[in-house]
Amino acid sequence: MSICRCLIVLSLSLVLLPAADAAKVKVWHQHTQSHYDKAKFKDAVVTSEGALRLSRQVKPFAGLEASNIWDLVEDKAGNLYVATGDEGKLFKVTPDGKSSVLYTAKDSHIFSLATTPDGMVYAGTGPTGKVIRISPDGKATIAADGLDSYVWSLAYDADSKSIYAGTGPKGKIYRLTPAGKTEVFYTTKQEHILCLAVGERGTLYAGTDKGGLIYRISPAGKGFVLYHANQPEVRTLLVTPDAVYAGTSAPVARKGGFSGGSKGLDGPAPGENSLYRIAPDGSVRELYRDKTMILRLGQHHGKIVVATGMSGQLFEINESTKEKTEIARLDVGQIHCLLQRRDGSIVLGTGDPGKLFVLEDRFAATGTVLSEVLDTKIQSKWGAMTWKANTPTGASASIAVRSGNVAEPDDTWSPWSAEQSGSDAKAQAPLGRYLQYRVTLTSDNPKSTPEFRQFALRYQTLNQAPEISSLEVPDLDTKDIENAKKLKIRWNASDPNDDELTFNIFCKKEGWKDWVLLEENYDKTSYDWDTTGIPSGIYQVKVIASDRKDNAAEDALTAERISSPVPVTHLPPSVTVKVVGFENGSAIVEASATDPFVRLTEASFAVDGKRWTNVFPTDGLFDSKTETFRFKTDVLRPGTHVLVLRVRNAAGNWGSGDVVIQVKS
């Protein structure tokens, strides 16, 4: 096998090494959860470790017409009660999935529900703040009226047989007693009581909006701030014998203090929400943080179930490891509520639009993940793909690719390639600027799922020539140079393929036939040209950029640029001086100076080797290669004097002329 072929095999096999290890070959590597933020999922999810899996099976349940489903409860007979908006309807759904409108409120929203052991259903409304009581026979009566504007949350306390109502915008909690009396149970300095939960011995917990406070309130009405969250909205609470769990749903974060042993938790960034665990001793752990709104919490198989907004995602949290695993992704905007039924199944209520789903304790049979589109900027050819797959018996994971030359896939793109499985393959797609891949997961066993992770695609952009956008040489017509023996040459160069460039630098004197090489395989974009070893004259500089370092000789491309003319001179200006008369003891001198290549920049004279006096051209400007001068000396004593006029050119060379002056006594 030739050395060239060995290098090709090596570059295709080491696909997890950085792209710099193989000339011009780049790697698209997708291996973290964030890499799939723009992917499209169907019956598939991505774990916090970046693995793709089948989602849990989610089955539509009981069609009903609503924009949002805000809350769910279940009675002893297994009937579901569904609170909705924007129509303000309360639906009843029988165990076999038949739905009917049980009650239509005058308010546009029924936000909260609670049931009692005797079969009563209580519904909290907005925006007029009513609590409606619906008896088992379907008769509805107003249990409480005018409880601020919104009844966001309801909770039943079995010990006192009371209904608690969390309201807004005045941040009050009301109690509806068994005797039918309504009273203010607790007043906060918050705006909204978004969630309520009853713990052991009638202890009430409340989550608020404005300051992100979590209250613990005794049956006697004594309140204590259990925790001050970093976010202003505590949307949902879950109380267990072991802990209190709180989820936030704030669009932005705020700075705030900590209480209840929360010191040491880092504050979230704007838009991030948190799931907190508050232990009986008051200590707080943040179980996870993400840019999703946490709308409802539940517990299933020893894990915390988290329903979120924005993308309709459902997560499971393992407390011991803090591992967050997406288990389902619904084609809706928000999962507003979840209910674990008596039979162990979980019902989800959504918004945008309002639908009911049953989360089944099994995986979907087939799922797909459609990646974001890779933009390689220029035409590319596609190489090796690798991934890691775990496929239990009866499960499979396969990948297909397609390519195109417009950013949004359409009918001008290539068709999907054949499905490829295993752990490596070659991307079977035509040349193109853009590429997309699709992962298909299947399983015959509803209790197991395949996993797909660590995807890497190697590709090579078609070679394009480098570009030299500018080439600058000193302009001696406008700028003086301190050291004209070393001219600073500068250029800007780039490569569309991001190849490393080297440069050959040449010069050519006016009249020469061929270019002379000054520097070869130079790797900088500025060059100090030492002109002491070349003759005077008018020159041009040529720079040739090459991408040979990252390409085979037969594939390498070049670009060149030639500078504007630049003079190189080691010659002094020629200077002539004469005395044309005397005036009051001073000699009147006329002089001329000329240079064949560059303008003149400076002149001064001295008499008898004494101080130098600056003089200027007759027109006042040093602006050309030839200048004339007329000036007077100081008063001269009788005798013989010598005057020297020196003139400097823009290349830093000095020329001089002299004249002997006889002054009679």
What 3-state DSSP class applies to 19? helix
**What pLDDT is recorded for position 5?**
38
Q: Is residue 513 part of a domain?
A: yes
Q: What is the CATH number of the domain that holds 656?
A: 2.60.40.650
Same domain, 548 and 592: no
pLDDT tens-place string over residues 218-252:
999 999 999 999 999 999 999 999 999 999 997 64
Q: Does 264 have pLDDT greater than 90?
A: no
418 and 378 in a common domain:
yes
- Asked if residue 546 and residue 486 are part of one domain, the reply reads yes
pLDDT exceeds 80 at position 481: no
CB of 28 closer than 8 Å to CB of 459: yes
Query: Which regions of 473-512 does DSSP assign to beta strands (E)?
Result: 486-494, 502-509
User: CATH number for the domain including 423?
Assistant: 2.60.120
Does residue 403 share a domain with residue 474?
no
Comparing CA positions, the residue from 138, 66, 45, 55 lying closest to residue 349 is: 66
Q: Which of 568, 603, 620 marks a domain boundary?
A: 568
Q: Is residue 291 part of a domain?
A: no
Instruction: Please report the pLDDT score of residue 51 as a whole number.
Output: 94
Q: The whole model's pTM is what?
A: 0.68
Dist CA 135 CA 537 (whole Å): 107
User: Mean pLDDT for the chain?
Assistant: 90
Is residue 626 domain-shared with residue 558, that is, in the same domain? no
Same-domain check for residues 508 and 594: no
Domain residues for the domain of 608 are 574-663
Evaluate if residue 663 carries a pLDDT over 50: yes
Cis upstream peptide for 474 (omega within 30°): no
Q: 592 and 558, same structural domain? A: no
**pLDDT-based confidence at residue 477 (cuts at 50, 70, 90):** confident
Q: What is the pLDDT of residue 300?
A: 87
Confidence (pLDDT) at 16: 35
Structural domain includes residue 473: yes
Domain assignment present for residue 610? The answer is yes
What's residue 3's pLDDT?
A: 37
pLDDT in tens, 585-601: 999 999 999 999 999 99
In tens, the pLDDT along 197-213 reads 999 999 999 999 999 99
**Residue at which a domain ends, from 568, 598, 617:** 568
* CATH number (domain holding residue 544): 2.60.40.10
Work out how many domains the chain is built from and give that number: 3
Residue 498 has what pLDDT?
87
Average pLDDT over every residue of 399-421: 97
> Is 388 in the same domain as 432?
yes
As beta bridge partners, residue 449 has none
- Give the end of a domain, one of 461, 488, 512: 461
Query: Does residue 216 lie within any of the structural domains?
Result: no
Does one domain contain both 373 and 411?
A: yes
For 349-369, write each residue's pLDDT tens digit.
999 899 999 998 899 999 999
Q: For 11-15, 84-88, 367-371, 598-602, which range has the lowest pLDDT when averaged over its residues?
A: 11-15
Token representation of residue 418: 């054949």
Among the listed residues 348, 250, 266, the one whose alpha carbon sits nearest the alpha carbon of residue 305:
348
Instruction: Give me the residues paired with residue 588 across strands.
Output: 581, 632
Using the predicted structure, report yes or no on whether residue 10 has a pLDDT greater than 50. no
Instruction: Give the pLDDT confidence of 130-145 residue by residue, as tens digits.
Output: 999 999 998 999 999 9
Same structural domain, 474 and 536: yes
The 3-class secondary structure across 254-277, one letter per residue, is CCCCCCCCCCCCCCCCCCCEEEEE
Are 563 and 583 within one domain? no
| 43 is a domain residue | yes
Check residue 290 and give its pLDDT: 87
Does the residue 380 lie in any domain?
Answer: yes
Residue of higher predicted confidence among 267 and 412? 412
Instruction: Count CB-CB contacts under 10 A for residue 327.
Output: 21
Beta bridge partners, 101, equal 91
Closest CA to 646 of 658, 636, 632: 658
| Listed residue (151, 215, 220) closest to 189, CA to CA | 215
Give yes or no: residues 580 and 659 share one domain. Answer: yes
In a domain, residue 169? The reply is no
**Percent of the chain residues topping a pLDDT of 70:** 93
